Structure 1
Amino acid sequence: MHERLVKHKLKAYEARLSQIKQIRLEELSDRELQESSLHLRQEALQGRVLDDLLVEAYAIGIEAFWRIKRIRLYDVQIIAGIALHEGKLIEMQTGEGKTFAAVLPAYLNALTGKGVHVLTFNDYLARRDCEWLSPLFEFLGLSVGYIQERMSLQDRQVAYAVDITYSTAKQAGFDYLKDSICYEVSSLVQRPFHYAIVDEADSILLDEARIPLVIAGEEAADHHVNWRTLSDVVQQYLREGIDYETDEYKRNVYFTESGMDLVEAILHCGNLYDEENAELLAALHTVLHAEALLQRDVDYIVSDGQILLVDEFTGRVADKRHYPDGIHEAVEAKEGILSRGKGTILSSITLQHLMSQYAKLSGMTATAKAAEDEFRQTYCLEVVIIPPNKPCRRRDHPHLIYTHQKAKYQAMLADIVDVHRTGRPILIGTSSVEESDQLANQLKLLGVACSVLNARNDEMEAAIIACAGQYGAVTVSTNMAGRGVDIALGGGNAEEYAAVAKLGGLYVMGTSLHESIRIDHQLRGRAGRQGDPGSTRFYVSLEDELIQRYGIYHVIPEEYEYLRQDEPLKDPVIHKAIAHIQRVMVGQHQEIRATLNKYSDIVEEQRQLLCTRRYQILTDQLQLNFLANRMPDKYQQVCTRYGELSAKKLEKRITLLAMDRCFADYLDYMAYVKEGIHLESISNKNPLDEFHRQIITYYEQLSSRIEDRILSGFQAFELTNEEMDLNQEELRVPSATWTYMINDQFFSNRINLF
């Protein structure tokens, strides 16, 4: 039934494909082909509907691809390109050439001159894809560029002004936020968003959708809370199960009554629940969360005196991501690191709301079907499944499930040693940095040389993956989602390819199951690319964190709870129970994302209103006369001394600063309300309704707060005999602004939002 439905959906695309392939362009000279592309661009600029240009544009793009890159696009890649132009989310298996499929829709939509963003998973892929494809796009008469983290303002302006820009979603989001606090039009870097193609769409649009991007002004560390002292108290004196307890999911941690008594005695602070101890109590809960629920080399690593968060979905360092609500400072104290402060948040946006800025959105991933409903509900994106160019020959073996971890690792290591003796390449996917390092050390003791790819060395990613398919290679990696590089059997050598293929191709092993089924599919997809042979196997134990946290007391039969045996379990009930656990977790994460969206939607709506007005003021679309009406005497003095143009410039600066500072206060208030909103459920109030009520009430007062700040800023402005001084304290713009991502997991995990 599923296959028939897929074929039915593809029929319309196959008709367009036939039309495209009927256009013969081989006999055109390069110049004639380029002139044809230029003609299409002129038609698009004159307002011709892109759908009417698609067949000819794709035919030109396909021919140019062959001439410049000597690559013939597969029919399925062309069909994928048609679906992407229509604003669909395509599912293409790993190794099927998603990067190539994005070329045709990027070319067609760039003809309008409004700009196309191809959003990749990391900076390396953005630069790689741009540099590799730029000769093709330039042949077709289009300009192309890419964004990197440390680019200058001028380089970013150039990169965003071109026809096709390759960037990460995060970089595009950070630049969007920076534009939202600009004080000069000349400092803006982006144009209005037009069309985006999102690679690894499930990771970007779902897994990271709830994580806010933040721009902050530098601020000293919070000295009201002595994080070091509180961390020492928790680490040295409190005992799990006696002074504090966690829930069965290890999502929440609580002080026991005896634990509270002990802390009060140590700190000599009196009753922690007294109003004057509210800040201290909140800080203690934060420190306890960092101590009990966050693990080094699993949730974060320590490198060069910094806490670096590890992305749970990819195993990479999550660049510029911070824990919220003092958690980051608490982790720094836990690890004995001097806190650098968190900064004052000036603006923020989630990736989901960032994507909503685009007039048209499409995406591609290898694992879309599993989240089809969520893509439709959240982004109005329909999933189109693209069949592989060659039938998949990969064998996905059933999980091997053991009663305890020691038995699992013994069996897994024996399997690795046996397979390695044959010369067959092996890729081992682990769940954490800690596990990847430990497994590599165990393999070394067994005489098996291996390469390790995790958050400690992910800058070596391309080189490690390039060798992972070679004869005799053993690669230990944290999760492979978003790695963006295919593993070629034999490392690209034809003779070695044949030898490796004869052995069965790449053997992919998973050391445990992930909460997200899609992440497991991503790992499996590293084997069997383009019809290559390959096989996969996951090793599981009933002591694995996923099962201990979510399933052992609910769905695993009691007789297995204390059973210990070295052989794998054969009972099909166990396999069904574990599959059930993963389905439940997928549902829980989807529910968390949906709930968090309800909280962030109203904040985003209010941010948009304020940003629109701010942009109108910045670009002089909205003329200001507030100060002339409210403080006419001083305003006239400024006009007399510095001239009317300078007075208008001063009023614009004061107004923009007032808007930014008041919005920063609003975000701070919003975070404060969100922090304690779960308590409303105690009094039988709906937390979401209360959150909306309080935020709306505050926002309604925002205009008067901004006006008051404008007046106080103008009142504090000192007239001098020299030129107008915009560096006075009240006029100084935030300096050394920096960007990062807040891990919102803490908020979603610890409280009931319904």
Structure 2
Amino acid sequence: MKSVKHNIYNKMNMALYRHRLKPYYEILKSIKSFQMNDWSDSKIKGFAQELKHKSQTGVPLKNLLTEAAALVGEAVWRSLRIRLYETQLVAGLALHDANMVEMHTGEGKTLSAVLPAYLNALQGKGSHIFTFNDYLASRDADWMGPVYQFLDLTVGRITEGSNMQERKSAYSADITYLTAKQACFDYMKDSLVYDVNKRVQRSLHFVLVDEADSILIDEARIPLVIAGKTDDTRVNFSRMSSIVKQLLPVIDYDTDENERNVYLTEAGAEKVESLLHCGNLYDIENSDKLSELNCGLHAEVLLKKGVHYIVRDGAVQLIDEFTGRIADKRHWPDGLQAAVEVKEGLKVQAGGKILGSMTLQHFLSLYQKICGMTATAQSSADEFRDIYALDVVIIPPNKPCQRIDFPHLIFSDKEAKRKAIISEIVSVHETGRPILVGTSSVEESNQLSNDLVRKGIPCHVLNAQHDQQEAEIISRAGVLNAVTVSTNMAGRGVDIILGGGDPEEYKKVVALGGLYVIGTNLHESSRVDKQLRGRAGRQGDPGSSKFIISLEDDILVKFGLKEALPKEYCSLRQETPLKGSKIQNIINHIQLVIEGQNYDIKKTLNKYADLLEQQRRILYARRTDVLFDIIKPSILASKEPEWYRKLCHTFGQIEVDEKEKYVLLVQIDKCWSDYLEYASYVKEGIHLESLSNKNPLDEYNRLIIQSYEELNQNIETEVLHIFLKMDLTKEMINLDLNEMRIPSATWTYIINDNFFQNRVNLF
């Protein structure tokens, strides 16, 4: 098969793109005509102050657009000695219009973000820029900081280690760089304070999301959690783990065809009942045992060390399915997390009580205005439009892309593939050309690295076990003789510069064909494959990419390649790649089917989360009004007026009212936490409703709506209970009660909800 030149921006397509971009190019003419070259720095700064004053006195941003864009372009030049490309300004205009912008890797997205961030910060309400990780938040704040400061704006950044005062200061800045997770965690923490001065965020105004495909799609549905320390004893999973290890595959348990779920056979259930001496395992009184068993079975059968998690520093650390890196602060639901810890012989970590939970998707919807940018937006255009109401705008590259994307090399088996990959690396490395290899797991990257070392080829390994020097390693992947083995999209947001910045070495690498990217596995989303290819061919540089795969690759086996293959391929084992387009078409179809299934699953999971989020917003609005004294609690006065009068007579009305406010806030938090626990319990077992021909989602909604209707009454009852047992003979109101204990410590983490995803029957 012939190679395919990556030249999607041909003349016909360019005309279509320019038609969509035509309004922005018209504005661009006006921007260019607004000359500031001969202005002094003081005149430019004075003009920036004038624009800010106009915006904050009611002049619409659209009326300031031309001047602001010209001002940004000049500020970038004077601060960084960089002239913005036309494409960067056009991208900035499209972002300001609340679009999802697609820009190729290396086209300068960080600089494109300055214009929309500046414009929307003029109103004095703050602009947030979400980066892929803490390193990029710090890097971009330092890099772009001088530009904003030149324009009379303040800049802040927030990372994992920022304390409360640093966060408060950063959020009060005009421009704030941080990750979406940090912003969401801070929002949830603010929702639990009892003093308005302890809040760190102000109202959510404008956000620009970098690497938006990862943040808005891959991670957006995963619940973020804030938990509190409790004295509750943990379930002992050791006994159930030993029982699970006695079960035999096929005989006692089996998995579905895609290995997304594991379940007991009838024989397996009988064996468990015998070992536990518990009678019918599915009786209501055995629901806790069944839940423990499901967690233990899932941990033992479906979760693989080196693929789904690693053990490091005595703890289980999850691997992100999309990046292959450690998923920072991510947990499975407590029971499953504990089961994996027992499986690995580790100490079971404290679970705590969930105080609040929220998905990034719901958090992002709180912003008044949202936009985003990524190198691979078009393939997810439907999701961006359906979920976030964002239209995709494709920005043509400043220089035509010269990358060559070769067709997949497909082998019959994994061993033939492994040999082909090593042979390809060895032959290319002999020329000195830099190579980046994208693998699917920690296990595979380590194995490939060992194979290369045995061949005498030194390489850098970048995976979940070596992620601290990620940016430095990936930035050096384009130097002569470099071989870098990484998992998926490690180092996102960091440019791979050919020659490492050395002009002479750059020429040598270009002469060799630029960076050569090899993918060893296809991914469930073709978008991730495109991201890997996109590491080569930066800013018109040459480069090439190729996927070397086999019919035995996990993703193809898991999703039914065997059933779709023509019979002559089923038992085939050969050293050379397979010929013909039939297999390639089948593989493409499988990938499309997987993407469709995952999209359906995400939509279904969103339906389970949407109702809970609506309820949270109603309750949180009430809590906020109480916190800010917008509404005054009147539970005592309305429900127990006589007792209220006695309390006021004894302690004074101001004291009683202040204490009632505090008690109400505490009980709102406690009752909501109990409600979340109930909703989680219902969700975990709701898939069983399909066995009785009931719609699980309808049953879930019915049960939690019924429970939510009782929530306000429960809160009022708890408040009354605390005040009605107060001793009027005491000199002060005593709130040192069990019912008023708040967590001595809180922490945040992310639930990997694949466990729930596996158990939810879609229909």
1:560 paired with 2:569, answer yes
Residue number among 7, 10, 17 corresponding to 2:18 in the alignment = 7
Percentage identity across paired residues of the two chains: 55
User: Which residue identity lines up with residue 449 of structure 1 in the other structure?
Assistant: P
| Structure 1 equivalent of residue 469 of structure 2 | 460
- 1:108-139 Cα offsets, whole Å, 9 max, x none, are 11000011110111111111111111111111
Alpha-carbon contact 1:552-1:561 (below 8 Å) kept: no
- The offset of 1:459, in angstroms, is 1.2
Q: Distance in 2 between matches of 1:190 and 1:637?
A: 39
Residues 652-676 of structure 1, C-alpha deviations (whole Å, 9 max, x = no match) = 1110111111111111111122122
Paired AA for residue 708 in structure 2? Y
1:89 is aligned to 2:100: yes
Residues 133-532 of structure 1 mapped to structure 2, 5 A cutoff: 133-220=144-231, 222-223=233-234, 225-235=235-245, 237-324=246-333, 326-480=335-489, 483-532=492-541
Q: CA deviation at 1:685?
A: 2.4
State the distance in 2 between where 1:133 and 1:227 align: 50
The structural deviation recorded for 1:625 is 2.1
State the one-letter code of the partner of 1:112.
Q
User: For residue 599 of structure 1, what is the amino acid of its counterpart?
Assistant: Y
What SS does structure 1 have at the residue aligned with 2:367? coil
Q: Distance in 2 between matches of 1:103 and 1:229?
A: 57
Per the TM alignment, residue 717 of structure 1 is displaced from its structure 2 partner at its CA by 4.7
- Residues in 2 aligned to 1:211 and 1:482: alpha-carbon distance in whole angstroms: 21
CA contact (8 A) 2:330 2:752 kept: yes
Question: What residue is the counterpart of 2:695 in the other structure?
Answer: 686
Shift of 1:549: 0.5
Secondary structure, counterpart of 1:270 in structure 2: coil
- The unaligned stretches of length 5 or more in structure 1 are none
CA contact (8 A) 1:481 1:523 kept: no
Other-structure match for 2:587: 578
1:61 corresponds to which of 52, 69, 72: 72
Instruction: Please give the secondary structure, in 1, of the residue aligned with 2:123.
Output: coil
Shift, 1:726, TM fit: 4.7
Residue aligned with 1:509, SS: strand
Give distance in 2, aligned partners of 1:132 and 1:647: 53
Instruction: State the shift of 1:430 in Å.
Output: 0.5
- 2:614 is paired with a residue whose SS is helix
| Partner residue, 1:748 | 757
Contact 1:677 1:687 survives alignment (8 Å): yes
What SS does the aligned partner of 1:11 have? helix
Whole-Å separation in 2 of the counterparts to 1:242 and 1:220:
40
Q: Offset of 1:720 from its aligned partner?
A: 7.6
Q: Does 1:707 align with 2:716?
A: yes
Classify 1:719/1:300 alpha carbon distance in 2 versus 1 (closer, same or farther; 3 Å): farther
Shift of 1:691: 1.7
Matched residue SS, 1:458: coil
Alignment coverage as a number of residue pairs: 752
Q: Deviation per CA, 1:548-576, whole angstroms, max 9, x where unpaired? A: 00132332222212110010001210000
The aligned counterpart of 1:732 is 741
Cα distance in 1 between the residues matched to 2:288 and 2:391: 47
Conserved 8 A contact 1:344-1:664: yes
Q: Is the 8 A contact 1:481 1:522 kept in 2?
A: no
Deviation at 1:748, TM superposition (A): 1.5
> Per-residue CA shift, 1:142-181, capped at 9, x if unaligned?
0110111122111111111111111100000000101111
Task: Report deviation, 1:613.
Answer: 0.6
Q: What SS does the aligned partner of 2:563 have?
A: coil
Deviates more, 1:298-307 or 1:255-264: 255-264
Task: Tell me the TM-score normalized by structure 2.
Answer: 0.96
Q: Does 1:80 align with 2:91?
A: yes
Which residue is equivalent to 1:119? Answer: 130
Q: What is the CA–CA distance in structure 2 between the aligned matches of 1:476 and 1:396, rounded to whole Å?
A: 19
The amino acid of 1:39's aligned partner reads E
Q: How far apart, in 2, do the equivalents of 1:302 and 1:210 lie?
A: 25
CA contact (8 A) 1:426 1:473 kept: yes
Look up the match of 1:30: 41
> Which whole-Å CA distance do the structure 2 matches of 1:142 and 1:431 have between them?
43
Residue 589 of structure 1 aligns with which residue? 598
Task: Find the aligned partners of 1:250 and 1:198 in 2 and give their Cα distance.
Answer: 33
Which among 622, 625, 628 is matched to residue 616 of structure 1? 625
Report the counterpart of residue 55 of structure 2 in structure 1: 44
Q: In 2, distance between residues paired with 1:685 and 1:526?
A: 48
When residues 66 and 628 of structure 1 are mapped into structure 2, their CA distance, relative to the original with a 3 A threshold, is same
CA distance in 2, matches of 1:700, 1:721: 36
- The one-letter code sitting in structure 2 at the alignment partner of 1:444 is V
Spell out, residue by residue over 1:592-628, the C-alpha distance to the aligned partner (whole angstroms, 9 max, x if none). 1111111111111111000001000000000122213
Change (3 A) 1:166 1:727: farther
SS at match of 1:624: coil
Q: How far does residue 645 in structure 1 lie from its aligned partner after superposition?
A: 2.4
- 1:490, CA displacement in angstroms? 0.5
Deviation per CA, 1:473-509: give whole Å up to 9, x if none: 1101011166210100011111110011101110100
Q: CA deviation at 1:719?
A: 6.0
Q: Distance in 1 between matches of 2:272 and 2:124?
A: 64
Amino acid at match of 2:608: Y
- Please tell me whether the aligned partners of residues 463 and 490 of structure 2 are also in contact (alpha carbons under 8 angstroms): no
Which ranges of structure 2 fall in alignment gaps of 5 or more residues? Answer: 1-11
Match of 1:538 in 2: 547
Query: Is 1:71 aligned to residue 74 of structure 2?
Result: no
Question: Does the 8 Å contact 1:198/1:363 carry over to 2?
Answer: yes
CA distance in 1, matches of 2:548, 2:728: 74
Q: Taking structure 1 as the reference length, what is the TM-score of the superposition?
A: 0.97
Contact persistence 1:614–1:656 (CA under 8 A): yes
Root-mean-square deviation (CA, aligned residues, Å) is 1.5
CA distance in 2, matches of 1:442, 1:320: 32
Partners of 1:516 and 1:586 within 8 A in 2: yes
Give the distance between the partners of 1:222 and 1:389, measured in 2 at CA. Answer: 60
CA deviations on 1:290-325 (whole Å, 9 max, x unpaired) are 111011111111111111111111111111111115
Q: Could you report, residue by residue, the CA deviation over 1:74-110 in whole angstroms, capped at 9, with x for unpaired residues?
A: 1000000000000000000111111110011101110
Relative distance call for 1:245 and 1:213 in structure 2 (3 A) is: same
Opposite residue 514 of structure 2, the aligned amino acid is: G
Deviation at 1:636, TM superposition (A): 4.0
2:312 is matched by which residue type in structure 1? Answer: S
For 1:220 and 1:502, how far apart are their aligned partners in 2?
Answer: 65
Residue 2 of structure 1: CA displacement? 4.5
